[in-house]
A and B are shown apart, each in its own frame.
Chain A
């Protein structure tokens, strides 16, 4: 047993820290999905993406031939932690491309597809931005229930249907789309396929869906006789479900380290704030309740860190983390929510101020976390679905739904 990271990883950590201090505006702290809403945030995010690409960090895990560095799992983990700690925007470019479109294409795409799409993502340019369209009005957690159809017509497929909760569709150049290709399949998850669709194709309509705080993160996307070249089918027709289960595992795994980084940064900021603020002539940091709330959250952050280490270690051993990615995602979501709640309490009356107004404290990060955390815990699989995965595949319990 050994709990120390190597020199290479620590050097990378230092490099990212220097990068963040040099390249980011001082008040910048970006949470997952947040950069997609306001134009000025998106502009900054895309400028940082390019710089991350130049550094060789944006897709560091990928092989050199596709624009990566072949970075180790440990380096990827440290990169995730630090990006979360510094709240570096542009890391994910709408999440999909970097986190799972690229890895999926390497797993089950063909060489032509890899050559075309991977360098675009690796460049950090706008043409490498992807959205992912899985959910539909009647297919949320029950994803296999999707109705959007793709029908073969010569060298093309014709797509019709509606997607919803599609993050980043309003920024994306490409869509990673799940559709039904065989609605008559005996089991509904056997008739699903994945396509890559150009968002400029005729017949695509993107309607914004604002969240309860007016943030524009997700959208409805309508497909009306959208024609897609057959060469844009990824992997095998009707095997989409199995491909997606693999890519969902990568997706969830990539979320743990940044959530840990976010958590530690927020706790450091709150600790600093509590030391500055005076109540009855004493710093708030001397209040026992405040001390213990923050201490509890630090302990849970440490658990999340070790969960991330454990999954990363399994990957280095060639093991497939059967339940660990689900555990880390759900645990991280709950932690972020809890920090939001604690943070709002520590901010006192200022917690109700709009995060972008001049009255806000700590650049509004606490309100933003509080407002965003329910969304984060739903995206990429709700916590309940993650718990089903752990119950079934780790504890060996019967299917519960």
Chain B
């Protein structure tokens, strides 16, 4: 048992902190919310040069051979700072390619991710908005040497700038008859429309009108697609929770600073127990979430994830982020309610992170199942 990060991990973390503070100040975050692309290609290229985009790939695919825990630490910093853009969406598509891709797919797609030339987006959920195999209605029919995909996907992050889509589509009527397809986003019949969201984070509706996909672009086995979705969910949920955990830490920190600074009745408001105890609750929950994330990430890194430990993180994260932001705004008073204050940037991301990769209900159900219920 050891709560200490390695020297390399400490270095990754402080590099990330420096880079994000410099390259992505809050003014930049605001600018990118209103930007059509939603990310900064120059910054993206620098992230590639830092080795972030291929952080967990082996060197032969252009990566730096880091662990899943390293990736989680990076996501935590990204969450603290807020980094708009396709890092998460690209990463959660690259992980299953690394795990399930054949040699040709890995050699073709992974180096492009690592060097920053390819952006990916995960297209699984549909109109019901949930991660259930039975909710996948988009179909993939067998054509002549290719598949023909038809259907509509919702809440596909960053599809507006993606070169590739990783798409779940139904190949048979059995509940789990789903396959994962690597689809060129520029294929004929792919239509992308940005959904206006509270987080202004470029989630999209993607429509597939008889889109032809070569047979060689099936990831893993036809009919084994849902296992891949499950593989993605476990890892992507932890990455998303790392981002949330970082966000909570940043919000607690700024609120604590404000409570020391702001004077009313001739005293810093942090000296009032109504404020202080609320801050303590925020801090303790954020810290607990951080440890839940680390435990699950470490277990995934060792190759022996516990289903309970993975599931319970995302069951909790949404609630903690929401409570933290709401209390933070109240402690800031009317200032916290303004467009200019940073706390609102975090609050507007609460629901996006809660609904990315399965909502609290889905993960609570998994925890309940692990309890034998």
Chain A residues engaging chain B, CB cutoff 8 angstroms: 1-6, 74, 267-268, 271-272, 274-275, 285-286, 290-292, 294-296, 298-300, 302-303, 306-307, 309-310, 312-314, 327, 330-331, 384, 387-388, 390-391, 394-401
Interface of B is mostly: helix
Indicate if the CB atoms of B371 and A271 lie closer than 8 Å: yes
Indicate if the CB atoms of B312 and A2 lie closer than 8 Å: no
Interface-lining segment among B93-101, B113-121, B139-147, B269-277: B269-277
Q: Is B260 an interface residue (CB 8 A)?
A: yes
Q: Is B223 an interface residue (CB 8 A)?
A: no
In the complex with contacts A295-B364, A395-B280, A401-B292 CB distance below 8 A: no
Q: With a CB–CB cut-off of 8 A, which chain A residues contact B361?
A: 292
In the complex with contacts A2-B2, A398-B268, A295-B315 CB distance below 8 A: yes
Indicate if the CB atoms of B260 and A397 lie closer than 8 Å: yes
Question: Which A-chain residue is minimally distant from B366 (CB atoms)?
Answer: A295
In the complex with contacts A387-B277, A391-B280, A2-B298 CB distance below 8 A: yes
Q: Is B248 an interface residue (CB 8 A)?
A: no
Q: What number of residue pairs across chains A and B have CB atoms under 8 A from each other?
A: 143
Interface-lining segment among B14-22, B154-162, B170-178, B283-291: B283-291
Indicate if the CB atoms of B270 and A398 lie closer than 8 Å: yes
- B281-322, CB < 8 A from A: 281, 283-284, 287-289, 291-292, 294-295, 298-299, 308-309, 312, 315-316
Question: Which A-chain residue is minimally distant from B253 (CB atoms)?
Answer: A395
Question: Which B-chain residue is minimally distant from A73 (CB atoms)?
Answer: B1
In the complex with contacts A3-B298, A391-B279, A271-B372 CB distance below 8 A: yes
CA of A391 to CA of B1, assembled, Å: 28
Indicate if the CB atoms of B372 and A400 lie closer than 8 Å: no
Q: With a CB–CB cut-off of 8 A, which chain B residues contact A399?
A: 271
Q: With a CB–CB cut-off of 8 A, which chain A residues contact B312?
A: 295, 298-299, 302
CA of A61 to CA of B87, assembled, Å: 48
- B244-284, CB < 8 A from A: 256, 259-260, 267-268, 270-273, 276-277, 279-281, 283-284
Q: Give the Cβ gap from A260 to chain B, nearest Cβ, in Å.
A: 13
A296 contacts which of B1, B6, B259, B315 (Cβ < 8 Å)? Answer: B315
Indicate if the CB atoms of B271 and A327 lie closer than 8 Å: no
Indicate if the CB atoms of A398 and B364 lie closer than 8 Å: no
In the complex with contacts A395-B256, A397-B259, A400-B273, A271-B294 CB distance below 8 A: no
CA of A5 to CA of B295, assembled, Å: 12
CA of A177 to CA of B277, assembled, Å: 31
Q: Give the Cβ gap from B41 to chain A, nearest Cβ, in Å.
A: 34
Q: Give the Cβ gap from B226 to chain A, nearest Cβ, in Å.
A: 23
